[in-house]
Amino acid sequence: MTHIEGKVVVIMGASSGIGEATTKKLAEEGAKLVIAARREDRLESLAKSLPNADISYAVADVTNKEDVQAVIDLAMEKHGRVDVLYNNAGIMPTAPLAESRFDEWRQMLDINIMGVLNGIAAVLPVMKKQQSGHIIATDSVAGHVVYPGSAVYCGTKFAVRAIMEGLRQEEKDNNVRSTIISPGAVTTELYTTINHAADRESVRDLMSKGEEGFSLKSSDVADAVAYAISTPETVAVSEILIRPAKQMV
C-alpha cells in the first residue's frame, strides 16, 4: 500500500492538461477522487475512461466560492474526509502592460488567485477539524521569475506562492501541509487562453518542441504532484520547481 492509496483527493481544474493527467496518475495509485471543472463533458469522459477508479465529478467554476464549497461538500458526503485538495485551475492571457487588457487582468486575478483562495477557504475548516490535510496549488516558473509580456500573469503566480507559504506557516500546528508545483513550459491547452497573437504563436511553437526537451508533458507534472502527496505527514514538500531540460528561464 502506497501513501496515496485510499486518500481522498479533490482536484479542481481536472478536465484537461495537468489536472487530467494527475487524475489518471492518482487513480492508478488507488486514490479516491473527486474532480471538478467547468466542462461537464470532459469530466464525464475522464471518469468513464477510469472504470476501476473510485471517482466522482462535479461542474464548478473556481471563481464562484459556492461552486467550490459544493465540491468539498460532495467529497465529505461521499467519503467523510478530504485528505488532499489540488487547486490546479488557471489561465495565462499574456500581453504587454501597455495594451491595458483590463478584462484579462481581472480574469487572471479571479481564476489564478481567488480560485486558490476559494479552495483554501472551503477545505480548511475540514482539515483543521481532521487535524490533517494537504493543500496543493499549481504555481509556475512565472511565480519565481518575471519576464516581459507576462507581468500580470507573473504577479498572480507570485501571489499564489506567497499565499501558500502563509498557509504553511499559519496551519502547520494543525498538521495541514502546503505545496506549490511550479512547472515551466508544459504541453497543455493553456496557450489557448492567450489572446495576444504573437505571444500565442510563440508559445504554440514551443509546445510543438516537447520531444526536444523544450516542453514538459502533463504527466511529468502529475508525477511531481504524486510525489508530494506520497510523502509521510511528517514531511512538508513546500515547493517543486520543474522545468523542461532545455528551458532557459
C-alpha cell at 30: 488507488
What distance in Å separates the CA atoms of residue 58 and residue 141, rounded to the nearest whole number? Answer: 30
Residues sharing a CB contact under 8 Å with residue 153, sequence separation 6 or more, in sequence order: 92, 93, 94, 108, 112, 140, 142
Full strand arrangement of the beta sheet holding 32-37: 54-59, 32-37, 8-12, 84-87, 133-138, 176-183, 239-242
Would residue 153 show up in a list of annotated catalytic residues for this protein? yes
Residue whose grid cell is 483543521? 128
Residue from 57, 86, 153, 191 carrying the catalytic annotation: 153
Q: Which of 135, 176, 137, 134 is nearest to 156 (CA)?
A: 137
Q: Are strands 176-183 and 239-242 parallel, antiparallel or unpaired?
A: parallel
Q: What are phi and psi of 27, to 5 degrees?
A: -60, -40
Catalytic residues: 153
